[in-house]
Structure 1
Amino acid sequence: MLLALDTSTSAVAVALLDLDGGLLAQEHVVDPRGTTELLAPLVQRALAAAGATPADVELVAVGTGPGPFTSLRVGIVTARTFALARSVPVLGVPSHDAIAHEWYLAGGRGPLLVATDARRKEVYASVYAQAAGDESALPWQLTRGPLVSRAVDLPEGERVLPTAGRGPSLYPEALANADGPLDVSAAALGGVALARHRLGLDQPTDPLYLRRPDATPSVPRSAIGAQRQDEQTPGTASAGPAGATQQ
Protein backbone atom coordinates (compact mmCIF):
# COMPACT_ATOMS: atom_id res chain seq x y z
CA MET A 1 0.00 0.00 0.00
CA LEU A 2 0.92 3.67 -0.26
CA LEU A 3 1.05 6.07 2.69
CA ALA A 4 0.29 9.70 1.72
CA LEU A 5 0.96 12.73 3.94
CA ASP A 6 0.42 16.47 3.56
CA THR A 7 1.06 19.34 5.97
CA SER A 8 1.15 22.29 3.56
CA THR A 9 -2.27 23.82 4.30
CA SER A 10 -4.46 24.28 7.36
CA ALA A 11 -5.08 20.53 7.53
CA VAL A 12 -2.85 17.68 8.64
CA ALA A 13 -3.82 14.95 6.18
CA VAL A 14 -2.93 11.25 6.07
CA ALA A 15 -4.26 8.48 3.81
CA LEU A 16 -3.54 4.86 2.97
CA LEU A 17 -4.25 3.62 -0.56
CA ASP A 18 -3.77 0.28 -2.22
CA LEU A 19 -1.46 0.36 -5.22
CA ASP A 20 -4.44 0.46 -7.59
CA GLY A 21 -5.53 3.75 -5.99
CA GLY A 22 -8.30 2.40 -3.76
CA LEU A 23 -8.72 4.33 -0.51
CA LEU A 24 -8.17 2.15 2.58
CA ALA A 25 -8.16 4.77 5.36
CA GLN A 26 -7.71 8.49 5.84
CA GLU A 27 -7.34 10.97 8.68
CA HIS A 28 -7.83 14.72 8.29
CA VAL A 29 -7.62 17.34 11.05
CA VAL A 30 -7.80 21.10 10.46
CA ASP A 31 -5.22 22.60 12.81
CA PRO A 32 -2.52 24.74 11.18
CA ARG A 33 -0.51 24.95 14.40
CA GLY A 34 -0.69 21.30 15.47
CA THR A 35 1.35 19.63 12.75
CA THR A 36 4.17 18.37 14.96
CA GLU A 37 1.83 16.91 17.58
CA LEU A 38 -0.77 15.48 15.21
CA LEU A 39 1.07 13.90 12.29
CA ALA A 40 2.55 10.76 13.86
CA PRO A 41 -0.66 9.85 15.78
CA LEU A 42 -2.70 10.31 12.60
CA VAL A 43 -0.40 7.93 10.73
CA GLN A 44 -0.86 5.37 13.51
CA ARG A 45 -4.65 5.82 13.42
CA ALA A 46 -4.78 5.39 9.65
CA LEU A 47 -2.70 2.21 9.82
CA ALA A 48 -4.94 0.82 12.57
CA ALA A 49 -8.09 1.70 10.64
CA ALA A 50 -6.75 -0.19 7.60
CA GLY A 51 -5.69 -3.15 9.73
CA ALA A 52 -2.12 -2.54 8.58
CA THR A 53 1.37 -2.07 10.00
CA PRO A 54 4.32 -0.04 8.69
CA ALA A 55 5.62 -3.24 7.11
CA ASP A 56 2.67 -3.15 4.68
CA VAL A 57 3.71 0.22 3.22
CA GLU A 58 5.59 -0.07 -0.08
CA LEU A 59 5.45 3.57 -1.19
CA VAL A 60 5.30 6.91 0.64
CA ALA A 61 3.97 10.13 -0.91
CA VAL A 62 4.28 13.60 0.58
CA GLY A 63 3.06 17.06 -0.32
CA THR A 64 5.96 19.36 -1.15
CA GLY A 65 4.08 22.62 -0.84
CA PRO A 66 4.08 25.49 -1.26
CA GLY A 67 3.37 26.01 2.41
CA PRO A 68 4.65 27.47 5.68
CA PHE A 69 8.28 26.59 6.39
CA THR A 70 7.87 24.73 9.70
CA SER A 71 4.79 22.62 8.96
CA LEU A 72 5.99 21.74 5.46
CA ARG A 73 9.34 20.62 6.84
CA VAL A 74 7.64 18.40 9.45
CA GLY A 75 5.66 16.56 6.78
CA ILE A 76 8.58 16.04 4.41
CA VAL A 77 11.00 14.92 7.14
CA THR A 78 8.40 12.50 8.51
CA ALA A 79 7.80 10.99 5.06
CA ARG A 80 11.51 10.69 4.30
CA THR A 81 12.22 9.11 7.69
CA PHE A 82 9.37 6.59 7.34
CA ALA A 83 10.53 5.66 3.82
CA LEU A 84 14.14 5.34 4.95
CA ALA A 85 13.18 3.07 7.83
CA ARG A 86 11.19 0.86 5.45
CA SER A 87 13.71 1.12 2.58
CA VAL A 88 10.91 2.14 0.20
CA PRO A 89 10.63 5.02 -2.32
CA VAL A 90 9.28 8.41 -1.24
CA LEU A 91 7.40 10.41 -3.88
CA GLY A 92 6.97 14.18 -3.75
CA VAL A 93 3.79 15.82 -5.05
CA PRO A 94 3.27 19.60 -5.26
CA SER A 95 0.39 20.16 -2.88
CA HIS A 96 -1.60 22.37 -5.25
CA ASP A 97 -1.60 19.46 -7.72
CA ALA A 98 -3.53 17.41 -5.16
CA ILE A 99 -6.15 20.16 -4.72
CA ALA A 100 -6.54 20.46 -8.49
CA HIS A 101 -6.74 16.68 -8.85
CA GLU A 102 -9.61 16.46 -6.38
CA TRP A 103 -11.48 19.28 -8.14
CA TYR A 104 -11.19 17.75 -11.60
CA LEU A 105 -12.10 14.26 -10.37
CA ALA A 106 -15.25 15.76 -8.80
CA GLY A 107 -16.35 16.99 -12.23
CA GLY A 108 -14.57 20.32 -12.54
CA ARG A 109 -14.14 21.56 -16.10
CA GLY A 110 -12.00 24.23 -17.69
CA PRO A 111 -9.31 26.30 -15.96
CA LEU A 112 -8.86 26.42 -12.18
CA LEU A 113 -7.03 28.72 -9.78
CA VAL A 114 -5.67 27.21 -6.56
CA ALA A 115 -4.97 29.86 -3.91
CA THR A 116 -3.80 28.81 -0.44
CA ASP A 117 -2.82 30.89 2.58
CA ALA A 118 0.77 32.18 2.41
CA ARG A 119 0.30 34.48 5.43
CA ARG A 120 1.76 38.03 5.30
CA LYS A 121 -1.50 38.98 3.50
CA GLU A 122 -0.49 36.87 0.49
CA VAL A 123 -1.52 33.62 -1.22
CA TYR A 124 0.32 30.80 -2.89
CA ALA A 125 -1.22 30.52 -6.34
CA SER A 126 -1.22 27.99 -9.19
CA VAL A 127 -3.30 27.90 -12.38
CA TYR A 128 -4.45 24.67 -14.05
CA ALA A 129 -6.14 23.75 -17.31
CA GLN A 130 -8.16 20.72 -18.27
CA ALA A 131 -6.00 18.23 -20.15
CA ALA A 132 -7.06 16.26 -23.20
CA GLY A 133 -4.64 13.37 -22.71
CA ASP A 134 -5.31 9.64 -22.58
CA GLU A 135 -6.87 7.92 -19.59
CA SER A 136 -3.50 6.87 -18.15
CA ALA A 137 -2.48 10.52 -17.71
CA LEU A 138 -3.78 13.09 -15.24
CA PRO A 139 -6.91 15.01 -16.30
CA TRP A 140 -5.29 18.42 -15.81
CA GLN A 141 -2.04 20.26 -16.37
CA LEU A 142 -0.28 23.10 -14.56
CA THR A 143 -0.09 26.27 -16.67
CA ARG A 144 1.34 28.81 -14.19
CA GLY A 145 2.91 28.76 -10.74
CA PRO A 146 3.20 28.01 -8.01
CA LEU A 147 4.01 31.57 -6.99
CA VAL A 148 3.45 33.84 -4.01
CA SER A 149 1.53 37.09 -4.41
CA ARG A 150 -1.09 39.34 -2.91
CA ALA A 151 -4.44 38.05 -4.11
CA VAL A 152 -5.38 41.43 -5.58
CA ASP A 153 -2.13 41.49 -7.61
CA LEU A 154 -2.93 38.32 -9.52
CA PRO A 155 -4.04 38.95 -13.13
CA GLU A 156 -7.75 39.70 -13.37
CA GLY A 157 -8.23 36.80 -15.78
CA GLU A 158 -7.00 34.43 -13.07
CA ARG A 159 -8.85 36.03 -10.15
CA VAL A 160 -12.23 35.37 -11.78
CA LEU A 161 -11.56 31.64 -12.27
CA PRO A 162 -13.13 28.98 -10.04
CA THR A 163 -10.79 29.09 -7.06
CA ALA A 164 -10.00 26.23 -4.70
CA GLY A 165 -8.11 26.61 -1.42
CA ARG A 166 -8.65 29.07 1.43
CA GLY A 167 -7.71 32.14 -0.61
CA PRO A 168 -11.31 33.15 -1.40
CA SER A 169 -12.37 33.01 2.25
CA LEU A 170 -9.37 35.12 3.24
CA TYR A 171 -9.59 37.65 0.39
CA PRO A 172 -13.18 37.55 -0.95
CA GLU A 173 -12.87 41.01 -2.46
CA ALA A 174 -10.14 39.75 -4.81
CA LEU A 175 -11.13 36.09 -5.22
CA ALA A 176 -14.91 35.98 -5.50
CA ASN A 177 -15.40 32.61 -7.24
CA ALA A 178 -14.77 30.09 -4.47
CA ASP A 179 -15.12 26.51 -5.67
CA GLY A 180 -13.66 23.17 -4.60
CA PRO A 181 -11.65 21.85 -1.66
CA LEU A 182 -10.24 24.18 0.98
CA ASP A 183 -7.26 22.01 1.93
CA VAL A 184 -5.22 19.13 0.54
CA SER A 185 -6.77 15.67 0.54
CA ALA A 186 -4.07 13.07 1.24
CA ALA A 187 -6.13 10.58 -0.79
CA ALA A 188 -6.01 12.86 -3.84
CA LEU A 189 -2.30 13.45 -3.28
CA GLY A 190 -1.72 9.70 -3.19
CA GLY A 191 -3.67 9.33 -6.42
CA VAL A 192 -1.40 11.84 -8.18
CA ALA A 193 1.70 10.09 -6.85
CA LEU A 194 0.52 6.68 -8.07
CA ALA A 195 -0.41 8.00 -11.53
CA ARG A 196 3.02 9.56 -11.99
CA HIS A 197 4.73 6.50 -10.53
CA ARG A 198 3.05 4.28 -13.11
CA LEU A 199 4.29 6.63 -15.84
CA GLY A 200 7.84 6.41 -14.47
CA LEU A 201 8.07 10.15 -13.78
CA ASP A 202 10.56 11.64 -11.36
CA GLN A 203 8.91 12.89 -8.16
CA PRO A 204 11.44 14.82 -6.06
CA THR A 205 10.67 15.73 -2.44
CA ASP A 206 12.39 19.12 -2.46
CA PRO A 207 10.13 21.56 -0.57
CA LEU A 208 8.52 24.47 -2.42
CA TYR A 209 9.10 27.19 0.18
CA LEU A 210 8.99 30.03 -2.43
CA ARG A 211 10.45 32.45 0.10
CA ARG A 212 12.69 32.56 3.16
CA PRO A 213 11.31 31.43 6.57
CA ASP A 214 9.76 34.00 8.90
CA ALA A 215 12.38 33.31 11.61
CA THR A 216 15.75 34.92 10.80
CA PRO A 217 18.87 35.57 12.94
CA SER A 218 18.76 38.94 14.74
CA VAL A 219 22.49 39.38 14.00
CA PRO A 220 23.89 38.79 10.48
CA ARG A 221 25.84 35.55 10.18
CA SER A 222 28.90 37.45 8.96
CA ALA A 223 28.88 39.54 12.13
CA ILE A 224 28.52 36.43 14.30
CA GLY A 225 31.43 34.81 12.51
CA ALA A 226 33.62 37.90 12.92
CA GLN A 227 32.80 38.08 16.64
CA ARG A 228 33.74 34.43 17.15
CA GLN A 229 36.97 34.93 15.24
CA ASP A 230 37.89 37.87 17.50
CA GLU A 231 37.12 35.81 20.59
CA GLN A 232 39.44 33.04 19.41
CA THR A 233 42.35 35.31 18.37
CA PRO A 234 44.97 35.64 21.19
CA GLY A 235 45.76 39.19 22.25
CA THR A 236 42.66 40.71 20.71
CA ALA A 237 41.36 43.65 22.69
CA SER A 238 37.63 44.20 23.13
CA ALA A 239 35.75 47.35 23.90
CA GLY A 240 34.35 47.57 27.43
CA PRO A 241 31.98 50.12 28.95
CA ALA A 242 32.35 53.65 27.65
CA GLY A 243 34.77 52.38 25.01
CA ALA A 244 37.50 51.52 27.51
CA THR A 245 40.08 48.97 26.36
CA GLN A 246 40.23 45.75 28.35
CA GLN A 247 43.46 43.72 28.36
Structure 2
Amino acid sequence: MLLLALDTATPAVTVALHDGTSVIASSSQVDARRHGELLLPAVDRVLTEAGLGLDAVTGIVVGVGPGPYTGLRVGLMTADTFGLALGVPVHGVCTLDALAYAVDDTGLEGPFVVATDARRKEVYWARYADRRTRLSEPAVDRPAEIDPSVTALPAVGGGALLYPDIFTDARAPENVSAAALASLAAERLAAGEEPEPARPLYLRRPDAQVPKNYKVVTPK
Protein backbone atom coordinates (compact mmCIF):
# COMPACT_ATOMS: atom_id res chain seq x y z
CA MET A 1 0.00 0.00 0.00
CA LEU A 2 1.20 3.50 -0.82
CA LEU A 3 -1.30 6.27 -0.12
CA LEU A 4 -0.83 9.81 -1.40
CA ALA A 5 -2.80 12.12 0.90
CA LEU A 6 -3.58 15.78 0.34
CA ASP A 7 -5.81 18.45 1.85
CA THR A 8 -6.58 22.07 0.91
CA ALA A 9 -9.66 22.65 3.10
CA THR A 10 -7.79 24.89 5.57
CA PRO A 11 -5.11 27.54 4.93
CA ALA A 12 -2.56 24.69 4.90
CA VAL A 13 -1.50 23.06 1.64
CA THR A 14 -0.53 19.66 2.98
CA VAL A 15 0.65 16.42 1.32
CA ALA A 16 1.93 13.11 2.70
CA LEU A 17 2.85 9.58 1.66
CA HIS A 18 1.86 6.60 3.82
CA ASP A 19 3.09 3.06 3.18
CA GLY A 20 0.36 1.35 5.20
CA THR A 21 2.47 1.31 8.34
CA SER A 22 3.68 4.89 8.78
CA VAL A 23 4.11 8.25 7.09
CA ILE A 24 7.29 8.18 4.98
CA ALA A 25 7.26 11.78 3.69
CA SER A 26 5.19 14.91 4.24
CA SER A 27 5.01 18.60 3.43
CA SER A 28 2.85 21.42 4.77
CA GLN A 29 2.77 25.12 3.89
CA VAL A 30 0.28 27.66 5.20
CA ASP A 31 -0.94 30.09 2.55
CA ALA A 32 -4.70 30.46 2.12
CA ARG A 33 -4.37 32.23 -1.24
CA ARG A 34 -1.98 29.88 -3.07
CA HIS A 35 -3.48 26.39 -2.85
CA GLY A 36 -3.44 25.90 -6.61
CA GLU A 37 0.11 27.16 -6.94
CA LEU A 38 1.61 25.17 -4.07
CA LEU A 39 -0.12 21.79 -4.23
CA LEU A 40 1.60 20.09 -7.17
CA PRO A 41 5.11 21.19 -6.12
CA ALA A 42 4.34 19.75 -2.68
CA VAL A 43 3.34 16.43 -4.23
CA ASP A 44 6.59 16.39 -6.21
CA ARG A 45 8.54 17.25 -3.06
CA VAL A 46 7.18 14.35 -0.97
CA LEU A 47 7.67 11.87 -3.81
CA THR A 48 11.26 13.03 -4.21
CA GLU A 49 11.86 12.80 -0.46
CA ALA A 50 10.56 9.24 -0.48
CA GLY A 51 12.54 8.34 -3.60
CA LEU A 52 9.39 7.16 -5.40
CA GLY A 53 7.52 7.97 -8.57
CA LEU A 54 3.85 8.84 -8.82
CA ASP A 55 3.23 5.49 -10.51
CA ALA A 56 4.06 3.73 -7.23
CA VAL A 57 0.95 5.19 -5.56
CA THR A 58 -1.86 2.66 -4.98
CA GLY A 59 -4.48 5.01 -3.58
CA ILE A 60 -5.31 8.69 -3.12
CA VAL A 61 -6.65 10.17 0.12
CA VAL A 62 -8.20 13.63 0.02
CA GLY A 63 -9.69 15.88 2.66
CA VAL A 64 -13.30 16.59 1.70
CA GLY A 65 -13.79 19.53 4.04
CA PRO A 66 -15.81 21.25 5.14
CA GLY A 67 -13.85 24.19 3.78
CA PRO A 68 -14.10 27.33 1.66
CA TYR A 69 -15.17 26.54 -1.89
CA THR A 70 -12.13 27.78 -3.81
CA GLY A 71 -9.45 26.14 -1.70
CA LEU A 72 -11.33 22.89 -1.15
CA ARG A 73 -11.96 22.20 -4.83
CA VAL A 74 -8.23 22.48 -5.64
CA GLY A 75 -7.48 19.39 -3.57
CA LEU A 76 -10.52 17.45 -4.71
CA MET A 77 -9.94 18.11 -8.42
CA THR A 78 -6.27 17.19 -8.08
CA ALA A 79 -7.14 13.97 -6.26
CA ASP A 80 -9.70 13.01 -8.90
CA THR A 81 -7.19 13.72 -11.67
CA PHE A 82 -4.52 11.57 -10.03
CA GLY A 83 -7.02 8.79 -9.43
CA LEU A 84 -8.14 8.74 -13.07
CA ALA A 85 -4.60 9.00 -14.45
CA LEU A 86 -3.23 6.23 -12.24
CA GLY A 87 -6.33 4.04 -12.20
CA VAL A 88 -6.35 3.93 -8.39
CA PRO A 89 -9.15 4.56 -5.87
CA VAL A 90 -9.72 7.97 -4.33
CA HIS A 91 -10.75 7.92 -0.65
CA GLY A 92 -12.41 10.87 1.06
CA VAL A 93 -11.80 11.80 4.69
CA CYS A 94 -13.56 14.60 6.57
CA THR A 95 -10.97 17.28 7.28
CA LEU A 96 -12.35 17.79 10.79
CA ASP A 97 -11.86 14.06 11.46
CA ALA A 98 -8.20 14.34 10.48
CA LEU A 99 -7.73 17.30 12.82
CA ALA A 100 -9.38 15.34 15.61
CA TYR A 101 -7.15 12.34 14.92
CA ALA A 102 -4.06 14.55 15.29
CA VAL A 103 -4.84 15.44 18.92
CA ASP A 104 -3.06 12.26 19.95
CA ASP A 105 0.14 14.29 19.68
CA THR A 106 -1.16 16.81 22.24
CA GLY A 107 -2.35 14.39 24.91
CA LEU A 108 -5.98 15.51 24.57
CA GLU A 109 -8.33 12.55 24.94
CA GLY A 110 -11.86 13.93 24.84
CA PRO A 111 -14.57 14.95 24.66
CA PHE A 112 -13.62 17.96 22.55
CA VAL A 113 -14.65 20.05 19.56
CA VAL A 114 -12.86 20.76 16.28
CA ALA A 115 -13.43 24.15 14.63
CA THR A 116 -11.86 25.56 11.46
CA ASP A 117 -12.18 29.02 9.95
CA ALA A 118 -15.17 29.29 7.61
CA ARG A 119 -14.66 33.03 7.02
CA ARG A 120 -17.66 35.41 7.18
CA LYS A 121 -17.15 35.32 10.98
CA GLU A 122 -18.22 31.67 11.01
CA VAL A 123 -16.57 28.33 11.81
CA TYR A 124 -16.93 24.80 10.52
CA TRP A 125 -17.20 22.53 13.53
CA ALA A 126 -18.05 19.10 14.92
CA ARG A 127 -18.02 17.50 18.36
CA TYR A 128 -15.94 14.41 19.20
CA ALA A 129 -15.99 11.81 21.96
CA ASP A 130 -12.35 10.97 21.23
CA ARG A 131 -9.89 11.25 18.35
CA ARG A 132 -11.68 8.56 16.32
CA THR A 133 -15.34 9.14 17.20
CA ARG A 134 -17.34 12.08 15.83
CA LEU A 135 -20.59 12.76 17.69
CA SER A 136 -22.17 15.32 15.35
CA GLU A 137 -22.35 16.06 11.65
CA PRO A 138 -20.10 18.90 10.43
CA ALA A 139 -21.85 22.25 10.63
CA VAL A 140 -21.18 25.92 9.92
CA ASP A 141 -22.24 28.60 12.41
CA ARG A 142 -21.22 31.85 14.02
CA PRO A 143 -19.26 30.90 17.15
CA ALA A 144 -21.64 32.78 19.47
CA GLU A 145 -24.57 30.73 18.10
CA ILE A 146 -23.03 27.37 19.03
CA ASP A 147 -24.36 25.84 22.24
CA PRO A 148 -22.20 26.93 25.22
CA SER A 149 -21.94 23.30 26.32
CA VAL A 150 -19.97 22.70 23.11
CA THR A 151 -17.80 25.82 23.12
CA ALA A 152 -16.82 25.19 26.74
CA LEU A 153 -15.11 21.95 25.72
CA PRO A 154 -11.43 21.84 24.78
CA ALA A 155 -11.26 22.92 21.13
CA VAL A 156 -8.68 22.46 18.39
CA GLY A 157 -8.34 24.12 15.01
CA GLY A 158 -7.87 27.56 13.54
CA GLY A 159 -11.54 28.46 14.01
CA ALA A 160 -11.33 27.92 17.76
CA LEU A 161 -8.09 29.88 18.02
CA LEU A 162 -9.69 32.82 16.19
CA TYR A 163 -12.41 33.17 18.84
CA PRO A 164 -10.80 32.54 22.26
CA ASP A 165 -13.57 34.49 23.98
CA ILE A 166 -16.04 31.83 22.78
CA PHE A 167 -13.82 28.73 22.69
CA THR A 168 -12.26 29.32 26.08
CA ASP A 169 -9.97 26.27 25.92
CA ALA A 170 -8.65 26.61 22.36
CA ARG A 171 -5.42 24.87 21.43
CA ALA A 172 -3.31 23.48 18.58
CA PRO A 173 -3.21 21.90 16.04
CA GLU A 174 -4.40 24.90 14.05
CA ASN A 175 -4.57 23.36 10.56
CA VAL A 176 -4.98 19.84 9.26
CA SER A 177 -1.93 17.79 8.28
CA ALA A 178 -1.92 15.26 5.45
CA ALA A 179 0.14 13.02 7.73
CA ALA A 180 -2.84 12.69 10.08
CA LEU A 181 -5.21 12.39 7.11
CA ALA A 182 -3.17 9.52 5.63
CA SER A 183 -2.74 7.75 8.97
CA LEU A 184 -6.47 7.87 9.69
CA ALA A 185 -7.33 6.61 6.20
CA ALA A 186 -4.78 3.78 6.46
CA GLU A 187 -6.20 2.76 9.83
CA ARG A 188 -9.76 2.74 8.48
CA LEU A 189 -8.79 0.76 5.37
CA ALA A 190 -6.88 -1.81 7.46
CA ALA A 191 -9.99 -2.24 9.63
CA GLY A 192 -12.09 -2.90 6.53
CA GLU A 193 -14.18 0.25 6.92
CA GLU A 194 -15.95 1.60 3.86
CA PRO A 195 -14.16 4.79 2.72
CA GLU A 196 -16.07 8.04 2.45
CA PRO A 197 -16.82 9.22 -1.08
CA ALA A 198 -14.49 11.94 -2.34
CA ARG A 199 -17.26 14.53 -2.48
CA PRO A 200 -16.89 18.05 -1.11
CA LEU A 201 -18.52 19.17 2.13
CA TYR A 202 -19.16 22.79 1.22
CA LEU A 203 -22.07 23.30 3.70
CA ARG A 204 -22.90 26.59 2.03
CA ARG A 205 -22.89 28.22 -1.39
CA PRO A 206 -19.62 29.65 -2.80
CA ASP A 207 -18.82 33.33 -2.32
CA ALA A 208 -18.85 33.95 -6.09
CA GLN A 209 -22.42 34.17 -7.36
CA VAL A 210 -24.05 34.95 -10.69
CA PRO A 211 -25.50 38.49 -10.34
CA LYS A 212 -29.27 38.59 -10.00
CA ASN A 213 -31.40 40.57 -12.41
CA TYR A 214 -28.45 41.27 -14.66
CA LYS A 215 -29.18 43.00 -17.93
CA VAL A 216 -29.24 40.69 -20.94
CA VAL A 217 -27.83 42.28 -24.07
CA THR A 218 -29.15 40.81 -27.31
CA PRO A 219 -27.87 41.53 -30.79
CA LYS A 220 -29.95 43.88 -32.88
In structure 1, runs of 5+ residues without a counterpart are 131-138, 233-237, 239-247
- Aligned counterpart in structure 1 of residue 153 of structure 2, from 136, 147, 161: 161
CA distance in 2, matches of 1:14, 1:202: 19
* Structure whose alpha-carbon radius of gyration is higher: 1
Structure 1 position 92 matched with structure 2 position 92: yes
Cα distance, 1:67 vs. partner?
0.3
CA distance in 2, matches of 1:65, 1:98: 10
* CA deviation map 1:24-69 (0-9, x unaligned): 1100001011101000000000100000100110011000000010
Give the TM-score of the pair, scaled to structure 1: 0.84
Aligned partner letter, 1:215? A
Cα distance, 1:121 vs. partner?
0.4
- Report the equivalent of 1:44: 44
- Report the equivalent of 2:176: 184
* CA deviation map 1:203-244 (0-9, x unaligned): 201100000000001135xx78xx58xx59xxxxx8xxxxxx
CA distance in 2, matches of 1:92, 1:209: 14
Query: Secondary structure, in 3 states, of the residue corresponding to 1:145?
Result: coil
CA distance in 2, matches of 1:197, 1:109: 23
Over 6 Å off, 4+ runs: none
Aligned partner letter, 1:201? E
Cα distance, 1:140 vs. partner?
2.4
Aligned partner letter, 1:176? T
| 8 Å CA contact retained: 1:104, 1:140 | no
Aligned partner letter, 1:213? P
- Report the equivalent of 2:199: 206
- Report the equivalent of 1:108: 108
* CA deviation map 1:69-114 (0-9, x unaligned): 0110000000110111110011000000000001135432121100
Aligned partner letter, 1:18? D
CA distance in 2, matches of 1:105, 1:208: 26
Q: After superposition, where does 1:34-73 map in structure 2 within 5 Å?
A: 34-73=34-73
Cα distance, 1:179 vs. partner?
2.3
| 8 Å CA contact retained: 2:9, 2:64 | yes
Aligned partner letter, 1:163? A
Aligned-residue CA RMSD (Å) = 1.7
Task: Identify which of structures 1 and 2 has the higher relative contact order when contacts are C-alpha pairs closer than 8 Å and 6+ apart.
Answer: 2
In structure 2, runs of 5+ residues without a counterpart are none
Percent identity among equivalent residues?
Answer: 45
- Report the equivalent of 1:15: 16
Cα distance, 1:151 vs. partner?
0.7
CA distance in 2, matches of 1:75, 1:46: 16
CA distance in 2, matches of 1:173, 1:105: 25
